[in-house]
A = this chain, B = another copy of it.
Amino acid sequence: MDHCPSCATPDLAFATHDHDRCAADTLLRAQTLLTARGQRLTPVRKRTLEILLESHRALGAYDVLHRLAADGFGNQPPVAYRALDFLEDQGLAHRIRRLNAFTACMHPGENHSAAFLICRTCLTVCESAATPISNALQSHAGAFQVESTTIEALGLCPACQTE
């Protein structure tokens, strides 16, 4: 779960880290995972994931689209949305509802439900394991059968608090 040192704990997630390794590592694991599932990481999909992995920010679909178009891919919305939806289906990206945006999954392959800490100043998004929160939610839900959860917190990351 802690392949990316920045993701071990929320406190560290907003700290600087060896992001190239963080991203490369996540991409590699994504690749492996898809192969094992018989799914294809086509050029658009791969590029989309790379774009998301460039930072721990969330990107809007149209931001991604413009980047893809600049790289020679189609420049109509479905191009981006299809790639993003695929990545989301495969658990390689998450949708941040609060921002109408997308972010790369930092723990691909682990069937976790995720929680997100979103800094409103630097827009960095930190994904943390939501298991305890998710459990609290399910136990709170009683007979309601939870199928998927959206757990997001907007606030200030440690770095932005001091400014």
Contact = CB atoms under 8 A, between A and B. Distances in A.
Interface of A: 9-11, 14, 97-98, 115, 117, 119-120, 126, 128, 130, 132-133, 136-138, 140-158, 161
B144 A117 contact: yes
A153 B152 CA distance: 12
Interface centre among A117, A126, A158 (most CB of B within 10 A): A117
> How many identical subunits does the complex contain?
2
Contacts of A157: 144-145
A151 B146 CA distance: 12
B144 A11 contact: yes
24 contacts: A10-B142, A10-B144, A11-B142, A97-B97, A98-B150, A115-B137, A117-B144, A128-B140, A133-B133, A133-B137, A136-B136, A137-B153, A138-B153, A141-B155, A144-B155, A144-B156, A144-B157, A145-B161, A146-B153, A146-B155, A147-B156, A149-B151, A149-B154, A150-B150
